[in-house]
Amino acid sequence: MISIINFGSAKTHEILGCLTALGFTASIFDWKEAEKVDWKKTKGIILSGSPILLTETNCDIYFEKFNFLKNINVPVLGICFGHQLLGLLFGASVFRSDEVRTVIEIKIGLKDTLFDGFDDKIEMAEDHTEGITLPDSFIRLASSEKYEVEAMKHFILNIFGVQFHPEISGENGLIVLNNFCKLTLTN
Protein backbone atom coordinates (compact mmCIF):
# COMPACT_ATOMS: atom_id res chain seq x y z
CA MET A 1 0.00 0.00 0.00
CA ILE A 2 1.10 3.54 -0.77
CA SER A 3 0.35 6.16 1.88
CA ILE A 4 -0.72 9.57 0.58
CA ILE A 5 -0.23 12.26 3.21
CA ASN A 6 -2.79 15.01 2.71
CA PHE A 7 -1.67 18.52 3.62
CA GLY A 8 -5.02 20.02 2.62
CA SER A 9 -4.70 20.07 -1.15
CA ALA A 10 -7.89 19.94 -3.20
CA LYS A 11 -5.89 17.73 -5.57
CA THR A 12 -5.10 14.94 -3.07
CA HIS A 13 -8.00 12.78 -4.28
CA GLU A 14 -6.66 13.21 -7.83
CA ILE A 15 -3.44 11.51 -6.64
CA LEU A 16 -5.48 8.60 -5.27
CA GLY A 17 -7.47 8.40 -8.51
CA CYS A 18 -4.30 8.27 -10.60
CA LEU A 19 -2.74 5.53 -8.47
CA THR A 20 -5.93 3.49 -8.56
CA ALA A 21 -6.12 3.88 -12.35
CA LEU A 22 -2.53 2.66 -12.55
CA GLY A 23 -3.41 -0.45 -10.53
CA PHE A 24 -1.79 0.52 -7.22
CA THR A 25 -3.39 0.39 -3.79
CA ALA A 26 -3.25 3.60 -1.79
CA SER A 27 -4.86 5.32 1.16
CA ILE A 28 -5.07 8.98 2.15
CA PHE A 29 -4.02 10.07 5.65
CA ASP A 30 -4.34 13.55 7.16
CA TRP A 31 -0.90 14.98 7.98
CA LYS A 32 -2.03 15.85 11.51
CA GLU A 33 -2.52 12.14 12.21
CA ALA A 34 0.69 10.87 10.63
CA GLU A 35 1.77 9.22 13.86
CA LYS A 36 -1.23 6.84 13.55
CA VAL A 37 0.00 5.43 10.23
CA ASP A 38 1.61 1.99 10.40
CA TRP A 39 4.71 2.88 8.39
CA LYS A 40 5.86 -0.78 8.45
CA LYS A 41 2.96 -1.67 6.11
CA THR A 42 3.66 1.23 3.78
CA LYS A 43 5.47 0.49 0.51
CA GLY A 44 5.75 4.15 -0.48
CA ILE A 45 4.79 7.64 0.65
CA ILE A 46 3.45 10.56 -1.36
CA LEU A 47 3.29 14.00 0.25
CA SER A 48 0.54 16.15 -1.29
CA GLY A 49 0.41 19.81 -2.12
CA SER A 50 -1.19 22.34 0.22
CA PRO A 51 -2.71 25.82 0.30
CA ILE A 52 -0.26 26.58 3.15
CA LEU A 53 2.64 28.88 2.31
CA LEU A 54 5.81 27.71 4.03
CA THR A 55 7.22 31.24 3.89
CA GLU A 56 4.33 32.39 6.07
CA THR A 57 4.09 29.62 8.66
CA ASN A 58 6.11 28.15 11.48
CA CYS A 59 7.49 24.93 10.01
CA ASP A 60 8.51 23.34 13.32
CA ILE A 61 5.36 21.20 13.57
CA TYR A 62 6.11 19.71 10.14
CA PHE A 63 9.73 19.06 11.06
CA GLU A 64 8.65 17.25 14.25
CA LYS A 65 6.07 15.07 12.51
CA PHE A 66 8.06 14.24 9.38
CA ASN A 67 11.70 14.18 10.47
CA PHE A 68 11.49 10.36 10.24
CA LEU A 69 11.46 10.71 6.43
CA LYS A 70 15.18 11.45 6.58
CA ASN A 71 15.78 7.81 7.55
CA ILE A 72 12.95 5.92 5.87
CA ASN A 73 13.58 2.87 3.71
CA VAL A 74 10.62 3.22 1.33
CA PRO A 75 10.30 5.48 -1.72
CA VAL A 76 8.97 8.98 -1.00
CA LEU A 77 7.57 11.50 -3.49
CA GLY A 78 6.82 15.07 -2.48
CA ILE A 79 4.48 17.04 -4.75
CA CYS A 80 4.58 20.88 -4.63
CA PHE A 81 4.22 21.59 -0.88
CA GLY A 82 5.47 18.04 -0.21
CA HIS A 83 8.49 18.74 -2.43
CA GLN A 84 9.18 21.97 -0.57
CA LEU A 85 8.76 20.27 2.82
CA LEU A 86 11.25 17.56 1.83
CA GLY A 87 13.67 20.27 0.74
CA LEU A 88 13.35 22.06 4.08
CA LEU A 89 13.82 18.81 6.02
CA PHE A 90 17.13 18.33 4.22
CA GLY A 91 18.36 21.93 4.59
CA ALA A 92 16.96 23.82 1.58
CA SER A 93 15.53 27.32 1.77
CA VAL A 94 12.01 28.17 0.66
CA PHE A 95 11.25 31.39 -1.20
CA ARG A 96 8.21 33.25 -2.47
CA SER A 97 8.07 33.90 -6.21
CA ASP A 98 5.64 34.56 -9.04
CA GLU A 99 2.35 32.72 -9.09
CA VAL A 100 2.43 29.87 -11.61
CA ARG A 101 -0.96 28.29 -12.34
CA THR A 102 -0.67 26.84 -15.82
CA VAL A 103 1.00 24.10 -17.84
CA ILE A 104 4.69 24.81 -18.42
CA GLU A 105 7.63 23.15 -20.08
CA ILE A 106 9.95 21.24 -17.77
CA LYS A 107 13.51 20.58 -18.89
CA ILE A 108 14.85 17.22 -17.76
CA GLY A 109 18.50 17.76 -16.93
CA LEU A 110 19.32 14.30 -15.61
CA LYS A 111 17.68 11.09 -16.71
CA ASP A 112 16.44 9.10 -13.75
CA THR A 113 13.77 6.53 -12.92
CA LEU A 114 11.15 9.24 -12.35
CA PHE A 115 11.45 10.40 -15.97
CA ASP A 116 11.68 7.00 -17.72
CA GLY A 117 9.90 7.24 -21.07
CA PHE A 118 10.55 10.95 -21.65
CA ASP A 119 12.99 12.84 -23.82
CA ASP A 120 14.56 16.04 -22.47
CA LYS A 121 11.36 18.13 -22.15
CA ILE A 122 7.85 17.53 -20.85
CA GLU A 123 4.82 19.66 -20.08
CA MET A 124 3.38 19.57 -16.58
CA ALA A 125 0.73 21.51 -14.66
CA GLU A 126 1.95 23.96 -12.03
CA ASP A 127 -0.05 25.52 -9.21
CA HIS A 128 2.16 27.33 -6.69
CA THR A 129 3.82 30.55 -5.56
CA GLU A 130 6.82 29.15 -3.68
CA GLY A 131 9.94 27.20 -4.56
CA ILE A 132 13.05 25.85 -2.88
CA THR A 133 16.78 25.85 -3.29
CA LEU A 134 18.43 22.48 -3.89
CA PRO A 135 19.29 20.69 -0.61
CA ASP A 136 22.93 19.58 -0.29
CA SER A 137 22.08 15.86 -0.28
CA PHE A 138 19.97 16.06 -3.47
CA ILE A 139 20.60 16.27 -7.19
CA ARG A 140 18.47 18.35 -9.52
CA LEU A 141 16.64 16.26 -12.10
CA ALA A 142 14.64 18.99 -13.84
CA SER A 143 14.13 22.74 -14.03
CA SER A 144 11.98 25.31 -15.83
CA GLU A 145 12.15 28.96 -16.79
CA LYS A 146 10.28 29.74 -13.56
CA TYR A 147 11.99 27.41 -11.05
CA GLU A 148 15.49 25.97 -10.87
CA VAL A 149 14.35 22.95 -8.86
CA GLU A 150 11.34 21.41 -10.61
CA ALA A 151 12.41 17.88 -9.67
CA MET A 152 15.06 16.47 -7.35
CA LYS A 153 16.29 13.18 -5.95
CA HIS A 154 18.25 12.28 -2.85
CA PHE A 155 21.80 11.04 -3.57
CA ILE A 156 21.26 7.72 -1.77
CA LEU A 157 17.63 7.28 -0.72
CA ASN A 158 14.62 6.89 -3.04
CA ILE A 159 13.32 10.31 -2.03
CA PHE A 160 12.02 12.52 -4.83
CA GLY A 161 10.41 15.92 -4.99
CA VAL A 162 8.54 17.57 -7.86
CA GLN A 163 7.39 21.18 -7.87
CA PHE A 164 4.77 20.41 -10.53
CA HIS A 165 1.52 18.47 -10.09
CA PRO A 166 1.62 15.12 -11.91
CA GLU A 167 -1.87 14.27 -10.64
CA ILE A 168 -3.41 16.95 -12.92
CA SER A 169 -0.93 16.70 -15.82
CA GLY A 170 -2.69 14.08 -17.92
CA GLU A 171 -0.70 11.29 -19.53
CA ASN A 172 2.69 12.82 -18.65
CA GLY A 173 1.71 12.97 -15.00
CA LEU A 174 0.49 9.38 -15.03
CA ILE A 175 3.85 8.25 -16.42
CA VAL A 176 5.74 10.07 -13.64
CA LEU A 177 3.45 8.62 -10.95
CA ASN A 178 3.71 5.14 -12.46
CA ASN A 179 7.51 5.40 -12.55
CA PHE A 180 7.50 6.33 -8.87
CA CYS A 181 5.01 3.62 -7.92
CA LYS A 182 7.08 0.94 -9.66
CA LEU A 183 9.81 1.68 -7.11
CA THR A 184 7.41 0.63 -4.34
CA LEU A 185 7.14 -2.89 -5.81
CA THR A 186 10.71 -3.70 -4.82
CA ASN A 187 10.21 -2.92 -1.11
Active site residues: 80, 165, 167
AA letter at 136: D
The answer to whether 172 and 121 have CB atoms below 8 angstroms apart is no
- The single-letter DSSP state of residue 134 is P
Secondary structure (DSSP) of 47-70: E---S--GGGS-THHHHHHHGGGG
Strand partners, 142: 108, 151
Q: Are 107 and 143 in contact (CB under 8 A)?
A: yes
Q: Which residues have C-beta within 8 Å of that of residue 10, sequence separation ≥ 6?
A: 51
Reported as type and span, the H/E element at residue 20 is: helix 12-21
